[in-house]
Chain A
């Protein structure tokens, strides 16, 4: 079974700082990768996704992620965070079986101080 690891459980940054959240997955075959964001009290929203093509993908709100196949990684980046980016971020990979379920990492809680 696939697994997803997010190494940073809690991150605290000041506004305008750069952000990089790590994500590693275990599956060696074709992957569909996602970053979801959950703002306080809200449901999950898709930030960006990758399944083929350019390994550098751009999402909403200035976020981007780079798929590095050799490192089994899909790290999320943002050059300059804002207070409104305070949220929990989840990396996920599709399990390529009959369910096509999402395997989620445990999440990273980001607090951006104004």
Chain B
């Protein structure tokens, strides 16, 4: 199985432009996440979704939006990119359950540079 796929692998984007980062998983996991990774800060949660049709905000949601129309896809949209959104973006998923461990599986990442 492919697990989690992300597209594009990398992108250079002009400030003010919009972009959608794609994430697809084939594990039928209910919960999905978007993190950004910045040097010295580890990974920080942008948005999450516990199940199709629901979304929630993470630590750094400003400037980003998500949707969850079905179980497999969880796109992240930057409506008007700014240089501070230059980062590596990781999508992750987790099988839903009432007990731990709440392990997450990560995609390969998208490296975004906003100029």
A interface with B by C-beta (< 8 Å):
4, 9, 30, 32, 34, 36, 42-46, 49-52, 90, 94, 98-102, 104-107
**Which chain A residues border B109 with CB–CB below 8 Å?**
43
Q: Does A104 lie within 8 Å of B42, measured CB to CB? A: yes
Q: Does A101 lie within 8 Å of B101, measured CB to CB? A: no
B-side interface residues, number (CB < 8 Å): 26
B interface with A by C-beta (< 8 Å):
31, 33, 35, 40-45, 48, 50, 56, 58, 90, 92, 94, 100-109
- Please report the C-alpha to C-alpha distance between residue A94 and residue B97 in the assembled complex, in whole angstroms: 14
Q: Does A51 lie within 8 Å of B100, measured CB to CB? A: yes
Q: Identify the closest chain A residue to B6 (Cβ).
A: A43
Q: Does B42 lie within 8 Å of A100, measured CB to CB? A: no
Q: Does A99 lie within 8 Å of B48, measured CB to CB? A: yes
**Which chain A residues border B107 with CB–CB below 8 Å?**
43
**Which chain A residues border B43 with CB–CB below 8 Å?**
44, 90, 102, 104
